[in-house]
């Protein structure tokens, strides 16, 4: 941004949101505290997007989208593990619910919204199918290993893994994520650049050079994301109470957590689509889902094995149907390298079905 006013606002918003979080932890809960936390949450989300975009401008794609996805996922892991450790058996399925919700949100909600916004503004926005398809195929393999197979194995009762099976699935997920990041940022970086952008060697010449400004943005990004997750946790009891009053199942809490934590990436992805950079939107969406599995599953598995916590990973038959539908539709969306508004609407309808069936299973 060029004007000093917005820059000052983005510099002040993360520490201010963190201060509101500290105040909320000290004061008794109430509607006024809830409104203040909600306003601070929105400010922290917008600031996080600004600083992530600043890092992306200085380092070039796809490093900027990777920074945002990685930062959000690391803090999401901390939130899930903390809630599981405090909730015991009652939260055994929280990791599964949150990760599956992340898949549905980014694979249908974020992708669908970005395709619709990009199509309405630019007709048939283009992207690089090689990069998007590589990310999605990796995501299918990781999802099957971690969320589908536990419902079909016979060594452990119910939709669970034995300790050895859990360790294997966690290791393979981490391996696939590391391989994806290496391909995205090093070996085949050109497949993840926005369509029409010059290859990495030429694009780097025009990119900003990382320096003190990038360090400040990175620090403020972390502060903003800590505030986002902390404020989400403060607001979660009210969300739980609202869900209980509405008669929603316990799994709806995972949906709410995923929606709150993914706000920064959603805003950044939609803004990229509006700027005719649909590949950047896909990098954010699928990168978030891949990091959610590749980092969350190993961390949760390690915590479950170390603390002897119960861990339910296998998804229900209803969710399996939604997952298969998402895989089929996404495969068609990513096939040609161009999209239009109808493809985005199909994804949004699947996302609406996921939300509705989460509340009315």
- For residue range 72-95, list pLDDT tens digits in order: 676 677 667 766 766 666 677 888
What is the pLDDT, as a whole number, of residue 2?
38
Own/partner long-range contacts of 210-219 (Cβ < 8 Å, ≥24 apart): 210/58, 210/59, 211/58, 213/54, 213/58, 214/54, 214/55, 214/58, 214/59, 217/51, 217/52, 217/54, 217/55, 217/58, 218/51, 218/55, 218/67
What is the pLDDT, as a whole number, of residue 60?
63
Summarised one tens digit per residue, pLDDT across range 224-247 is: 878 877 887 777 777 777 777 777
- Residue 217 confidence (pLDDT) above 90: no
pLDDT band at 1 (very low <50, low <70, confident <90, very high): very low
147: tokens are 């969320």
**% residues pLDDT > 70 (the chain):** 83
Q: Which residue has the higher pLDDT, 62 or 232?
A: 232
- Residues 249, 28: Cα–Cα separation, whole Å: 27
202: tokens are 């030429």
Q: Which residue has the higher pLDDT, 195 or 158?
A: 158
- Listed ranges 51-60, 196-205, 270-279, 316-325; the one with the highest mean pLDDT: 316-325
What is the pLDDT, as a whole number, of residue 4?
37
CATH of residue 73's domain is: 1.20.1420.30
- Residue 49 confidence (pLDDT) above 50: yes
| SS3 labels along the chain | CCCHHHHHHHHHHHHHHHHHHHHHHHCCCCHHHHHHHHHHHHHHHHHHHHHHHHHHHHHCCCHHHHHHHHHHHHHHHHHHHHHHHHHHHHHCCHHHHHHHHHHHHHHHHHHHHHHHHHHHHHCCCECCHHHHHHHHHHHHHHHHHHHHHHHCCCCCCCCCCCHHHHHHHHHHHHHHHHHHHHHHHHHCHHHHCCCCCCCHHHHHHHCCCCCHHHHHHHHHHHHHHHHHHHHHHHHHHHHHHHHHHCCCCCCHHHHHHHHHHCHHHHHHHHHHHHCCCHHHHHHHHHHHHHHHHHHHHHHHHHHHHHHCCCCCCCCCHHHHHHHHHHHHHHHHHCCCCECCHHHHHHHHHHHHHHHHHHHCC
- Residue 168 confidence (pLDDT) above 90: yes
What mean pLDDT do residues 323-328 have?
Answer: 95
Q: How high does pLDDT run on average in the chain?
A: 81
- Residues 243, 246: Cα–Cα separation, whole Å: 5
pLDDT band at 62 (very low <50, low <70, confident <90, very high): low
What is the pLDDT, as a whole number, of residue 63?
66
For 57, the domain range is 4-359
Closest CA to 234 of 13, 34, 32: 34
What mean pLDDT do residues 294-309 have?
Answer: 83
What is the pLDDT, as a whole number, of residue 112?
95
Model confidence, pTM = 0.77
What is the pLDDT, as a whole number, of residue 143?
94
103-to-49, 139, 176, 207, 246 alpha-carbon distances in Å? 20, 9, 16, 32, 24
CB distance 156 to 165 below 8 Å: yes
- Listed ranges 127-141, 195-209, 252-266, 288-302; the one with the highest mean pLDDT: 127-141
CB distance 24 to 36 below 8 Å: yes
* Residue 317, C-beta contacts closer than 8 angstroms, at least 6 positions apart: none
Domains: count for the chain: 1
What mean pLDDT do residues 95-113 have?
Answer: 92
Lowest mean pLDDT among 19-23, 203-207, 287-291: 203-207
What is the pLDDT, as a whole number, of residue 27?
76
């Amino acid at each position: 941004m060029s004007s000093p006013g917005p820059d000052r606002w983005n510099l002040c918003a993360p520490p201010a949101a963190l201060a509101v979080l500290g105040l909320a932890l000290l004061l008794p809960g109430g509607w006024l505290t809830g409104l203040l936390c909600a306003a601070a949450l929105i400010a922290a989300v917008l600031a996080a997007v600004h600083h992530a975009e600043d890092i992306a401008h200085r380092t070039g794609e796809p490093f900027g989208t990777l920074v945002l996805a990685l930062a959000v996922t690391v803090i999401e892991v901390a939130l899930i593990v903390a809630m599981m450790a405090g909730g015991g058996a009652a939260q055994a399925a929280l990791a599964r619910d949150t990760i599956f919700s992340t898949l549905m949100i980014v694979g249908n909600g974020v992708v669908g919204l970005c395709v619709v916004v990009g199509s309405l503004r630019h007709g048939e926005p283009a992207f690089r199918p090689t990069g998007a398809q590589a990310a999605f195929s990796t995501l299918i393999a990781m999802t099957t290993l971690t969320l589908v197979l536990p419902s079909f194995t016979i060594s452990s009762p119910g939709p669970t893994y034995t300790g050895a099976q859990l360790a294997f699935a966690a290791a393979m997920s981490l391996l696939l994520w590391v391989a994806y990041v290496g391909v995205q940022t090093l070996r085949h970086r050109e497949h993840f650049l926005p369509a029409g952008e010059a290859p990495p060697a030429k694009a780097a010449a025009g990119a900003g050079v990382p320096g003190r400004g990038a360090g400040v943005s990175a620090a403020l990004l972390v502060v903003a994301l800590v505030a986002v997750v902390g404020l989400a946790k403060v607001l979660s009891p009210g969300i739980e109470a609202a869900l209980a009053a509405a008669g929603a199942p316990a799994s709806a809490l995972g949906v709410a957590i995923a929606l709150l934590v993914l706000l920064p990436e959603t805003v950044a992805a939609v803004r990229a689509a509006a700027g005719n950079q649909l590949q950047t939107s896909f990098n954010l969406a699928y990168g978030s889902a891949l990091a959610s599995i590749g980092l969350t599953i190993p961390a949760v598995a390690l915590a479950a094995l170390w603390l002897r916590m119960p861990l339910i990973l296998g998804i229900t038959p209803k969710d399996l149907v939604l997952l298969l539908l998402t895989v089929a539709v996404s495969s068609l969306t990513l096939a040609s390298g161009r999209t239009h508004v109808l493809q985005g609407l199909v994804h949004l309808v699947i996302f609406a079905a996921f939300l509705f069936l989460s509340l009315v299973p």
